[in-house]
Structure 1
Amino acid sequence: MDRLENTARPYAWGSTTAIPELLGTPPTGEPQAELWMGAHPGAPSRLDRGDGPRALSDTIAADPEGELGAAAVRRFGPRLPFLLKVLAAAAPLSLQVHPDLDRAREGFAAEEERGVPLDAPDRNYKDANHKPELICALTPFDGFCGFRAPAATAELLAALGVDSLKPYVDLLHAHPEADALREVLTAVLTADRAVMAETVDRAADAAERLAAQDGPYQEAYAAYAAAARHFPGDPGVIAAMLLNHVRLQPGEALYLGAGVPHAYLDGLGVEIMANSDNVLRCGLTPKHVDVPELLRVVRFESGDPGVLRPEADAAGEEVYETPIDEFRLSRYVLAPGAEGAALPPGAAQILLCTSGTAVLRDAEGGELLLDRGQSVFVRADERIVLHGEATVFRATVVA
């Protein structure tokens, strides 16, 4: 068991207090948006096995099979295939989608061939991997996720009473679902920016008014109005109005697959994803928006956001089921005096304590206390039993 030292990323949308409160450290006054746990080259965790701090990525590179397990290396290569985070949003993240694996490989190869620098602001593909992700709420957590049914969105837009939105309402009524969603999103993102900014301002004012009234979209209108306050005039505000608004309660989660437009708005959560940094943005951002490439990646289909609740097995492990092999997120809610929870070996694991204090015991009798906000890396061959009074999240791969 190796206690991890992790890096907090200071993105502007981050909370100044949520991650310090989790870690039990004083706020710095600067935003702390994400706490990264893993071996991503952008901010690898560090561990110390008696010879000084070392990046987890370097530790894994020195002995991939010993650290990750032979089966995991055969399936995913000699690197940790997932990245675990604590995400603390105090303002909306960009409205975005992620590519599937084939498109990520094609896009990365094409930009490499053109010689686009990896740090170029107009670069879309930072690597050749897909980026499915799962967010699990630790506090009430708001977001936008997936397209709402076109008829319902037409109703929501029409109620705003903004004349310049009427063509979108007509398109949503007149065309089959995929065509309607594609045409409206394309029109919003390619409209004259000055004209669209005026539409956004009027729509935001109307959303603010409707958020104060009872109705089926009251919470959604409040979320759109809040997004517009952070990004006045941004076309992404109207694009977001095509999406479902969702509010997670603690313990609930969302899975985001390839091509699903989404944005996180507010709250603290545990996030796990494939080890990638590929993002195509739709709006709510000053960053680059590549509309043609975005339209190649977006899945133009509506659906319920699909809120996940964990399913407990006989051993007390509560699993968030997803269709992805690169990561598997679960949690243990430990009670004092209960029989210890034995963690299955065979693949690398990262354990994160989000409340209380967990006691980790290994097969040799070694013991480690894991307090709130602390995390450990567990080698593939280690056998660990959890005790204590705590909530512990477990990140690993699908066996």
Structure 2
Amino acid sequence: MDRLQNTVRPYAWGSPTALPELLGEHPTGAPQAELWMGAHPGAPSLVDRGSGPVPLSEVIAADPDGELGAAAVAAFGPRLPFLLKLLAAAQPLSLQVHPDPAQAVAGFADEEARGVPRDAPHRNYKDDQHKPELLAALTPFEGLCGFRPAAEAARLLASLDVDGLKPYADILRARPEEAALREVLTAVLSADRDEIADTVRRAATAASRLAGEPGPHADDYAAYAGIARHHPGDPGLLAAMLLHFVRLRPGEALYLDAGVPHAYLSGLGVEIMASSDNVLRCGLTSKHVDVPELLRVVRFEATGPGVLVPEPDADGAEVYRTPVGEFRLSRHVLAAGGAPRSLDAPTAQIVLCTDGEVTLVDEAGQQAPAGGNPSGTIGEPGGELRLARGRSAYLPASACPRVSGEGTIFRATVAV
């Protein structure tokens, strides 16, 4: 077992305090947005097996079958197919969608053939993988996810009483749902920013005014007013009004499949995704927005907001069930004095402690020596590793771990 040394990404939308508080560190005053746990080439975690810290990606590359398990390698190749994160949003993230597997392969191949540099700001496909993702809330968490039914979106736009929104509401009432959603989103994102600026401004003002009044959309209005404060004049505000506003309680989650537009707004959560960088943005960003490619990827269908509640599993865990194979996320709430729980799996896994303190014991081979093995290296079967709040560990497929203590852990593994 290996204690992970992880990188914090300081994106501008990050909270200055949420991650330091979880990690027991002093805030620097700068935003701290994401803590990455995994082998993604953008910021691989480091492990130390006795000869100094090395990237987890190098450890896996040296022995893919031994580290990941033969089944995971057969399904997803010699790489860890998921990335686990702690995400701390103090401001809205960009409104975005992710491609499905076929779209990712085709889009990547096209940009490679055209010679678009992989680090070019206008490049859409950084790799040939899809990027389904799941976010489980640790605090109250707000976001946007999935299209509202067209009729409901029309009523919301009409309730703002802004002349520039009335043509969109009319389209949403009159056309079949898929065609209506496509036409309105296309019009909003393709409009000249100067020409649509007055409509965006008036919509933001109306949302701010109505946020303080009772009614079925009070929470929606407050969310849109907050978006407008952070992204003044961005037409993405109007695209956001087509989506469900979602407020998660701690423990609830959002699952985001291919083609589903979404944006995180605020809160702290555990996020897991297929290990990919493929993002197509719709707005609320200064980054590149490729409208034609975006419209090809978006699924123009009304969906539920995609809220998941973890389901009890046979091993005492609570599982967030999704239809993808690259990852499986579960939560274990451990009580003091409880029997150790087995975390055996045929694949690699990452364990993150989000509350309290837990102890991992690798029961492969010999029993742990007296006092345990604080270093917890896989080279010493029976090693013991303690994880405090905010700390994480990598367990290769060859480990036979058990966990005990008083706290909460999230366990990420491959669904094979």
Q: TM-score category by the smaller chain?
A: over 0.9
Of the candidates 398, 402, 407, which is equivalent to residue 385 of structure 1?
Answer: 402
Map 1:148-163 to 2 at 5 A: 148-163=148-163
Structure 2: distance between partners of 1:314 and 1:107: 41
Structure 2: distance between partners of 1:64 and 1:71: 11
Instruction: List per-residue Cα deviations over 1:292-314 (Å, max 9, x = no partner).
Output: 00000000000211211111123
Map 1:1-399 to 2 at 5 A: 1-363=1-363, 364-365=367-368, 366-399=383-416
- SS of corresponding position for 2:308: coil
Instruction: List per-residue Cα deviations over 1:213-237 (Å, max 9, x = no partner).
Output: 1111110110011001111110100
Alpha-carbon offset, residue 345 of structure 1: 2.5
Equivalent pair of 2:256/2:306 in contact (CA under 8 Å): no
Of 192-201 and 99-108, the range deviating more from structure 2: 192-201
Of 178-187 and 342-351, the range deviating more from structure 2: 342-351
Structure 1: distance between partners of 2:345 and 2:299: 37
Equivalent pair of 1:131/1:275 in contact (CA under 8 Å): yes
Structure 2: distance between partners of 1:376 and 1:198: 51
Aligned residue type for 2:158: A
Alpha-carbon offset, residue 177 of structure 1: 0.4
Aligned residue type for 2:88: A
Instruction: List per-residue Cα deviations over 1:267-324 (Å, max 9, x = no partner).
Output: 0000000000000000000111000000000000002112111111232111000000
Q: TM-score, normalised by structure 1?
A: 0.99
Structure 2: distance between partners of 1:312 and 1:229: 40
Gaps (5+ residues) in structure 1? none
Percent of pairs with identical residues: 69
Gaps (5+ residues) in structure 2? 369-382
Structure 2: distance between partners of 1:220 and 1:275: 32
- SS of corresponding position for 1:14: coil
Structure 1: distance between partners of 2:358 and 2:198: 53
Equivalent pair of 2:37/2:45 in contact (CA under 8 Å): yes
Q: TM-score, normalised by structure 2?
A: 0.95
Structure 2: distance between partners of 1:22 and 1:277: 26
Structure 2: distance between partners of 1:206 and 1:37: 41
Structure 2: distance between partners of 1:197 and 1:115: 35
Q: What is the aligned residue count?
A: 399
Equivalent pair of 1:197/1:232 in contact (CA under 8 Å): no
